[in-house]
Amino acid sequence: MKRKCFLATTLVLISWLPLIADYSGHEKVGALVDELVSEYSFDSTTLMSVFKEIQHKPDIIEIMDRPAETKPWFQYRNIFMQKKRINDGVKFIRDHRDDLDRAFEEYQVPAHIIAAVIGIETNYGGNMGSYRVMDALATLGFDYPRRAPFFREQLKQLFVLACEERIKPFDADDACDRKQNSLSSGQGRSIEDLMGSYAGAMGYGQFIPTSYLDFAIDFDEDGMRDIWSNISDAIGSVANYFAEHEWTKDGLIMESVEIDTSQGSPAEHANLTLERFSKTVEEWRALGIKSSAPSTQKAALFAYKLDDKESPTLQYMLGFDNFYSITRYNPSRLYARAVFELATEIQKKL
């Protein structure tokens, strides 16, 4: 009886091997292929040839359920606020000063902010991800129900990206409809070559496909938007992203604030939103928040754990307009503060 059970289990596992190795037979692929053919005139045979090469990556789903942003601040901060990362940020700015200066001139985003973002996202290009983007997005788009619609759309837009940039096998004129009339040659790159994070984020600045299509730019004007190997394009693209998300030149980012507890507990007002801030500094002062920012400045209150005690010590910060802009890059109060602090330390050493 045990032998029969073992054989039956083995047969079941074997029956799943095609799904793991090949997405062309997945029940949800056909609908996506139909959309791409209908909306962008993709060649269905070419699309299916790609899906035959896409691999299911179960470890990605495990990683998705334990993101760094779930850590308390004092642990999250330690990931990024290291002496080497700060020093490497200074070197990054010195090595790429011309591109960073031009990015500031055109987009008003300072070098230390761009460096901090790239430093946090990929350690200045040292870790741009070890997964093929198509594998990551297919795994999450078809087999991760909690966020499947989002990642399915990202997979769809990855194909659009490959079409517009003439990335193989979509480099032929009849492979798809290039709505932006791209002149790029794709530089011989294949869709299988596009590497990124477990969530399908790509390049120095970790753009998902929709962000690439909307905000990546050909900063060095060589005919291709290349955020993987062209640092000029990566710098310009990060700057453009922030400019398109309302970054304000010389605007405030964050401020540590003290609390007048005689006017009530601030806890009920903290961490309530990462959407457009509605309260002014004057209104926060009326609630007992001591701030030196201009009275009319919009702000939101955030609390950060400084230790892991039963009753942890909390530090309160006001986030301003440019803090909000950083959360458009990554919707996390931890991430936004890490960018602010790393950028501040880099700037001090320049």
DSSP track, 143-161: H-GGGHHHHHHHHHHHHHH
Find where tokens 């990024």 sit.
80
pLDDT in tens, 181-234: 555 666 688 999 999 999 999 999 999 999 999 999 999 998 889 999 999 999
- The 10s digit of each residue's pLDDT in 224-255 is 899 999 999 999 999 999 999 999 999 999 99
* pLDDT tens track for 59-98: 999 999 887 778 999 999 999 999 999 999 999 999 999 9
267: pLDDT strictly greater than 90 = no
User: What percentage of the chain has pLDDT greater than the value 70?
Assistant: 92
Give pLDDT tens digits for 156-166.
999 999 999 99
Could you tell me which of 57, 79, 238, 192 has the C-alpha nearest to residue 136? 57
Give, as one character, the DSSP assignment of residue 203: T
Instruction: Flag whether pLDDT at 11 surpasses 80.
Output: no
Burial class (CB within 10 angstroms; exposed 0-12, middle 13-18, buried 19+) of 163: buried
Question: pLDDT tens digits, residue range 296-340?
Answer: 999 999 999 999 998 899 999 999 999 999 999 999 999 999 999
Which of 243, 259, 241, 260 lies closest to 302 in space, CA to CA? 259
User: Please, are residues 249 and 108 in contact by the beta-carbon 8 Å criterion?
Assistant: yes
Count, in order, helices (H) and strands (E) of the chain: 15, 8
- Residue 244: the pLDDT is 98
Secondary structure of 1-21 as H, E, C letters: CHHHHHHHHHHHHHHHHHHHH
Spatial distance between the Cα atoms of 317 and 40, rounded to a whole number of angstroms: 46
pLDDT given at position 65: 85
Q: 117-149: buried (b, 16+ CB within 10 Å) or exposed (e) per residue?
A: bbbbbbebbeebbebbbbbbbbbbbbbbeeeee
Residues in Cβ contact with 61 at an 8 Å cutoff, skipping those fewer than 6 apart: 139, 140, 143, 144
Q: Which CA distances in Å does 166 have to 171, 184, 209, 241?
A: 4, 6, 15, 23
Mean pLDDT of all residues belonging to the chain: 91
pLDDT surpasses 60 at 9: no
Percent of the chain's residues with pLDDT above 90: 82
pLDDT, residue 131, reads: 97
Greater model confidence, 44 or 311: 44
Task: With a cut of 80, say whether residue 15 has pLDDT above it.
Answer: no
Contact predicate 343/331, CB 8 Å? no
pLDDT at 1 over 70: no
Note the pLDDT of residue 70: 84
Alpha-carbon distance of 56 to 65, in angstroms, equals 17
Task: Give the residue among 161, 155, 127 at the shortest CA–CA distance from 140.
Answer: 155
